[in-house]
Amino acid sequence: MDWVNAVVQGTLLGGLYAMFAAGLSLIFGVMRLVNIAHGDLIVLSAYVALSGAMLLGVSPFVVLILAVPVMAAFGYLLQRLVLNRTMGDDILPPLLVTFGLSVIIQNALLAAYSADPQKLQAGAIETAAFAIGPITVGVMPVIVFATAVAVIAGLQWVFYHTALGRAFRATSDRQDIAQLMGLNRAHVFGLAMALSMAVTAVAGVFLGMRTSFDPAIGGSRLIFGFEAVIIGGLGNLWGTLAGGVILGVAQTLGAKLHPGFQVLSGHVVFLFILAVRPRGLFPRIDG
Amino acid sequence: MTRLSVSRQTRLSNIAMLALAVTLLLLAAAPWWAGRAELRLLGEIFLYMSLATLWNLLAGYAGLVSVGQQAFVGLGGYMLFAATLLWGVHPLVALPLAMVAGALVSAPVALLIFRLRGAYFAIGTWVVAEVFRLSFAQLSALGGGSGISLAPAIVKQLASGRSAREALLYWLALGLAVLVVGAVFAFLRSRRGVALTAIRDNELAARSLGIDVWRTKFTVYVVTAALTTLTGALIFLQKLRISPDAAFSANDWTAFVIFIVVIGGIGTIEGPIIGTLIYFVLRETMADLGAAYLIALGAVAIVIMLVAPQGVWGLIRGKSGTELFPLSRRVRGLTDKGN
What residues does each domain of chain B span? 17-258
A114 dihedral zone (left: phi>0; alpha: psi -120 to 50; beta): left
| B75 vs B248: CA distance, rounded Å | 8
Does position B174 have pLDDT exceeding 80, yes or no?
A: yes
Does position B313 have pLDDT exceeding 90, yes or no?
A: no
Going from the C-alpha of A139 to that of each of A142, A145, A210, B308, the distances in angstroms are 5, 10, 11, 52
State the best of A34, A35, A96, A234 to mutate against chain B, taking most chain B CBs within 10 Å: A96
**Angle ∠(B106,B108,B110) on CA atoms, nearest 5:** 65
| pLDDT, greater one: A283 or B67 | B67
CB-based contact A34 B115, cutoff 8 Å? no
- In the prediction, which pLDDT does A248 show? 95
DSSP string, chain A: -HHHHHHHHHHHHHHHHHHHHHHHHHHHHHH----TTHHHHHHHHHHHHHHHHHHHT--HHHHHHHHHHHHHHHHHHHHHHTGGGG-SS-SHHHHHHHHHHHHHHHHHHHHHH-SS-B----GGGGT-EEEETTEEEEHHHHHHHHHHHHHHHHHHHHHHHSHHHHHHHHHHH-HHHHHHTT--HHHHHHHHHHHHHHHHHHHHHHHHHHS-B-GGGHHHHHHHHHHHHHHH-TT-HHHHHHHHHHHHHHHHHHHHH-GGGHHHHHHHHHHHHHHH-TT-SS--S--
Does position B5 have pLDDT exceeding 90, yes or no?
A: no
The DSSP output letter for B255 is I
Rounded to a whole number, what is the distance in Å from the CA of B136 to chain A's nearest CA? 11
| B255 vs B58: CA distance, rounded Å | 15
CB contact, 8 Å: A80 with chain B? Answer: no
CB contact, 8 Å: A275 with chain B? Answer: yes
- In the prediction, which pLDDT does B339 show? 45
Nearest to A204 by CA among A14, A53, A70, A48: A48
CB-based contact A82 B298, cutoff 8 Å? no
- Give me the sign of the Cα torsion angle B147, B151, B152, B155: negative
Query: At B95, is the pLDDT very low, low, confident or very high (cuts 50, 70, 90)?
Result: very high
CB-based contact B255 A95, cutoff 8 Å? no
Q: Which residues of B86-96 are buried (b: 16+ CB within 10 A; e: fewer)?
A: eeebebeebbe
- In the prediction, which pLDDT does B1 show? 56
| B264 vs B272: CA distance, rounded Å | 5
| B84 vs B82: CA distance, rounded Å | 6
CB contact, 8 Å: A111 with chain B? Answer: yes
Rounded to a whole number, what is the distance in Å from the CA of A263 to chain B's nearest CA? 8
Domains of chain A: 2-107+137-276 (1.10.3470)
pLDDT tens string B247-275: 998 888 998 899 899 999 998 899 999 99
CB contact, 8 Å: A69 with chain B? Answer: no
Q: Which residues pair with B6 in a beta bridge?
A: B331
CB-based contact A260 B134, cutoff 8 Å? yes
Contact status, residue B75 vs residue B236, Cβ threshold 8 Å: no
- In the prediction, which pLDDT does B34 show? 83
The DSSP output letter for B332 is E
CB-based contact B291 A110, cutoff 8 Å? yes
- In the prediction, which pLDDT does B338 show? 45
Q: Residue A76 contacts by C-beta under 8 Å, 6 or more apart in sequence?
A: A190, A191, A193, A194, A197
- In the prediction, which pLDDT does B69 show? 94
Residue of B nearest to A261 (CA): B134
Query: At B335, is the pLDDT very low, low, confident or very high (cuts 50, 70, 90)?
Result: low
Provide the mean pLDDT of chain A: 89
Nearest to A15 by CA among A135, A153, A217: A153
Q: Is A168 exposed, middle or buried (0-12, 13-18, 19+ CB in 10 A)?
A: buried
Query: At A175, is the pLDDT very low, low, confident or very high (cuts 50, 70, 90)?
Result: confident
Does position A240 have pLDDT exceeding 60, yes or no?
A: yes
Contact status, residue A44 vs residue A207, Cβ threshold 8 Å: no
As a whole number, mean pLDDT of residues B128-133 equals 93
- In the prediction, which pLDDT does A285 show? 55
Nearest to B185 by CA among B63, B270, B269: B269
Which residues of chain A make contact with B262, given a CB cutoff of 8 A? 96
SS3 state of residue B148: strand
Residue of A nearest to B110 (CA): A275
Q: Residue B281 contacts by C-beta under 8 Å, 6 or more apart in sequence?
A: none
Find the chain B residues whose C-beta atoms sit closer than 8 A to any C-beta of A: 59, 63, 65, 67, 112-113, 115-120, 122-124, 126-128, 130-131, 134-135, 137-138, 145, 250-251, 255, 258-259, 262, 266, 290-292, 294-295, 297-299, 301-302, 305-306, 309
Give strand ranges (E) for chain B. 5-7, 148-149, 241-242, 330-332
Query: At A179, is the pLDDT very low, low, confident or very high (cuts 50, 70, 90)?
Result: confident
As a whole number, mean pLDDT of residues A94-109 equals 92
Which residues of chain B make contact with A219, given a CB cutoff of 8 A? 126, 250
**Which of A85, A99, A270 is nearest residue B67 as measured by Cβ atoms?**
A99
Nearest to A42 by CA among A191, A277, A214, A177: A214
- In the prediction, which pLDDT does B297 show? 87
Does position A23 have pLDDT exceeding 80, yes or no?
A: yes
As a whole number, mean pLDDT of residues A100-117 equals 93
Does position B327 have pLDDT exceeding 70, yes or no?
A: yes
Does position B337 have pLDDT exceeding 60, yes or no?
A: no
As a whole number, mean pLDDT of residues A13-32 equals 90
Does position B21 have pLDDT exceeding 90, yes or no?
A: no
SS3 state of residue B72: helix
Contact status, residue B233 vs residue B176, Cβ threshold 8 Å: no
As a whole number, mean pLDDT of residues A270-278 equals 87
Does position A17 have pLDDT exceeding 50, yes or no?
A: yes
| A127 vs A139: CA distance, rounded Å | 8
**Which of B115, B134, B258 is nearest residue A264 as measured by Cβ atoms?**
B134
Does position B336 have pLDDT exceeding 60, yes or no?
A: no
Does position A116 have pLDDT exceeding 90, yes or no?
A: yes
CB-based contact B112 A108, cutoff 8 Å? no
- In the prediction, which pLDDT does A287 show? 41
Q: Which residues pair with A129 in a beta bridge?
A: A138
Contact status, residue B235 vs residue B74, Cβ threshold 8 Å: no
CB-based contact B306 A92, cutoff 8 Å? no
Q: Which residues pair with A80 in a beta bridge?
A: none
pLDDT tens string A40-82: 999 999 999 999 999 998 888 899 998 999 999 999 999 999 9
CB-based contact B123 A34, cutoff 8 Å? yes
Provide the mean pLDDT of chain B: 88
ipTM of the complex: 0.84
| B85 vs B333: CA distance, rounded Å | 61
As a whole number, mean pLDDT of residues A237-243 equals 92
The amino acid sitting at A191 is: L
**Which of B135, B259, B305 is nearest residue A86 as measured by Cβ atoms?**
B305
- In the prediction, which pLDDT does B115 show? 87
SS3 state of residue B248: coil
Contact status, residue A16 vs residue A144, Cβ threshold 8 Å: yes
Which residues of chain B make contact with A104, given a CB cutoff of 8 A? 294-295, 298-299, 302
Contact status, residue B278 vs residue B263, Cβ threshold 8 Å: yes
| pLDDT, greater one: B70 or A173 | B70
Percent of chain B beyond pLDDT 90? Answer: 42
Rounded to a whole number, what is the distance in Å from the CA of A202 to chain B's nearest CA? 23
